[in-house]
Amino acid sequence: MFLKELIEEDPEWPTAGNYMYLDMLSALRWINKNIRDYGGDPSNVSLFGQSAGGLSVIDLGAVKGSAGLYRTVISQSGLDSPGTYSSYYNITAALNCSNSIVHRLNCTNGDKQKVLSCIRNSSNENLFQIYGDRYTRPIIDNYFFPLYPPLAIQNGQYNNISLIMGNNDYDLTVCLDHPDMNYTDAIELISQSIEHKWIPAIVDYYHLKNCSANRTSNNTRCCNIVLWIATDKFFDCDIRRLFNAFYLKYGPQYEQNKLFSYHLNCYPQCPTVPEMGICRHSAELPFVFGTISDFHSEELFNCTWDNSTRAFSNEIISHWINIATTGRPLNQWPSYDPSSPRHFHITPDRGFIDEKWHRNCSFYDEMEVERVKEIFGNNHYIVKEPSK
């Protein structure tokens, strides 16, 4: 929670909320202090996270007190990733959200100590019920988490790290959830996350108006086109925006050695159920950890590991181990180059190949500029492509 009463409670820590990052810092300080006892190197600590964890390990680079505690980050499918304004609260939004929770807890009567005591004595069950499905967000508080991560990078207030970011080809299961989507359905769905004024340009660019509800239409199928739109907005263009910010601030010496991106596909040979043979959100985890038992627990896929699948998993593990050891993947994985953006496509059927990033991010960059100015009040936030 981000409350006036909490902020005023400790004059030496004039903020509140963001407690998960405090926990992460405590863990990292312990690791740095004790890692030698386990044969580790405190100057070569790597972090990796998936989904919300993929978001938090990126955020950590903009958090006060995190510099020097780690060297490398792998961010897997950080949904609503760190280049997306909608993943964060400003101070006003954080106060409003927290005050609404306090009001629903009936903890608003009394002085500061009574309010805090009431909150702290609330049961877990009551808190869970009141929070419901509310999406909690990191708070840009101007103190502990002072800047939105892309702004922190642009202002030179982000940690000097190696960064690997990517996502699964079907993180967003649009066709699984909406197999018979038509054009009207498509507009309704994208309008939930994209302002109306941007819709015509996006419809035109992705040729959405000509889409088909036919399940065999492939590249013209409405749900596939919406998948591309959502993947660009929530993953690929966010990654490019962050990487370009690093390049603009630090120049080609940063890009050459420290920025890498990927796409991952893991189920092309398992279409035992229509639309199920896809690499959806979290589906890469058994391959990263080599855990067949986790894979078998995904009963709806009805797939088993064979020797080629094990080899595919081992190759992913080899890259991840090399990243942890050296700060970069194995040599065939190219670093990010803004003059010709590419990602490393990790697939079990076509090998591991680099592919060109071919879609246009200008819509999403313009949305970002506009909304960041509104939310965080920074008139110097400019997204642009690095010089070729």
CATH of the domain at 278: 3.40.50.1820
119 and 196 belong to one structural domain: no
* Mean pLDDT of all residues in 303-330: 87
Q: Among 113, 137, 160, which residue terminates a domain?
A: 160
Q: Are 251 and 387 in the same domain? A: yes
What gap in Å lies between CA 166 and CA 260, rounded to an integer? 8
Report the chain's mean pLDDT, rounded to a whole number: 87
Instruction: Please tell me whether residues 42 and 144 are part of one structural domain.
Output: yes
Alpha helices in 298-338 (DSSP H): 307-326
% of the chain surpassing 70 pLDDT: 88
222/242 Cα distance (integer angstroms) = 29
Query: Do residues 301 and 358 share a domain?
Result: yes
Q: Is-contact 227 179, C-beta < 8 A?
A: no
Q: How far apart are CA 78 and CA 60, in angstroms?
A: 13
User: What's the confidence (pLDDT) of residue 208?
Assistant: 97
Q: What is the pLDDT of residue 247?
A: 87
- Residue 145 shares a structural domain with residue 9: yes
Asked which of 160, 188, 209 is the last residue of a domain, the reply is 160
Looking at the structure, do residues 202 and 146 belong to the same domain, yes or no? no
End-to-end CA distance of the chain: 44
Specify whether 114 is located in the same domain as 198. no
Question: Among residues 160, 185, 210, which one ends one of the domains?
Answer: 160
On whether both 76 and 140 belong to a single domain, the answer is yes
Q: How many domains does the chain have?
A: 2
Top pLDDT among 340 and 164 is at: 164
Would you list the DSSP string of 215-227? TT-GGGBHHHHHH
Q: Which domain holds residue 12?
A: 1-160
When mean pLDDT is compared over 184-193, 255-264, 287-296, the highest value belongs to: 184-193
pTM of this structure: 0.89
Residues 184 and 155 in one domain: no
Residues 102 and 242 in one domain: no
Instruction: Please indicate, yes or no, whether residues 372 and 325 belong to a single structural domain of this protein.
Output: yes
pLDDT digits (tens, 9 = 90+) for 228-270: 999 999 999 999 999 999 888 887 766 567 899 999 987 645 5
Instruction: Work out the average pLDDT over 317-345.
Output: 91
Same domain, 260 and 373: yes
Instruction: Reply yes or no on whether the pLDDT at 276 is more than 80.
Output: no
Rounded average pLDDT over 285-300: 67
